[in-house]
Amino acid sequence: MDRADLLAGQLGLPIRDLRLLAQSLTHTSWLHEHPGEAAGHNERLEFLGDAVINLAVSEALYARHPDDDEGVLSARRAAIVSASGLAALATRIDLGSYLSLGEGEAARVGPQRPSILASAFEALAGALLLDIGWEPTRDWLITTAGPELDAGLEPVLLKSPKSRLQEATQRMTGGRPAYRVIEAVGPDHDKVFRVEVSVGGEVLGMGIGPSRRIAETAAAAEAVEILDARAAELAEAVAQ
């Protein structure tokens, strides 16, 4: 059995077009190394799946959180449909093990890279929409993302690390965190960025990622953890 057959069996959905499913699992790097051996790569399906996921998640959040205002609902959705959020959903179904990557791409980053997993999950959603229709696709997405859709997180925890760090910085100093690219190595199509973030001249976080934005987010997350730990220590000291 090939990868599409195996994934179809795992999903348990009434999939009819295995060729389309296989396309959703095909990275551009694989098609470049094996021209003519697949119907195409998954980027067009990724475009379609992005809209499918956003609608399914929005509809489910609206129904499940009737007391949330538009801002909180948007924050909940952003947490689920972000690259890291979709990568988590892809990992939940072990999607990485079914992907077809070129040898060079697999050697550099592997199928478990969050950005690759997130894109593949979107492509899978697009393929399912075209094959089995909206309602089964929506129901599958809602089931797969059930824990995230039902999570009763505080609104502040739904905000991105960069937003949380900026709010904390404004409270502390009235200013904004400063991000600086330390290095960017690799070819243009596969760069790796290393970014540091400082608050009031003090470096609080360092992040690495395949884009400046992702590296900045990782740096901000580290900085938020440090500031939260300091605030907890201060509160404990005051309590004593």
Q: Which helix (H) or strand (E) holds 194?
A: strand 192-199
Residue 206 parent element (H or E): strand 202-209
Alpha helices in 34-150 (DSSP H): 43-64, 70-81, 83-92, 103-108, 114-132, 134-144, 146-150
Residue 50 appears among annotated catalytic residues: yes
CB atoms within 10 A of CB 221: 18
Catalytic residue, from 2, 59, 67, 122: name it.
Answer: 122
Q: Provide the token pair at 34.
A: 């094996």
122 is catalytic: yes
Phi, psi of 66 (to 5 degrees): -65, -20
Q: Is 214 in a helix, a strand, or coil?
A: helix
List the catalytic residue out of 2, 5, 46, 50: 50
**Active-site annotation, residues:** 50, 122
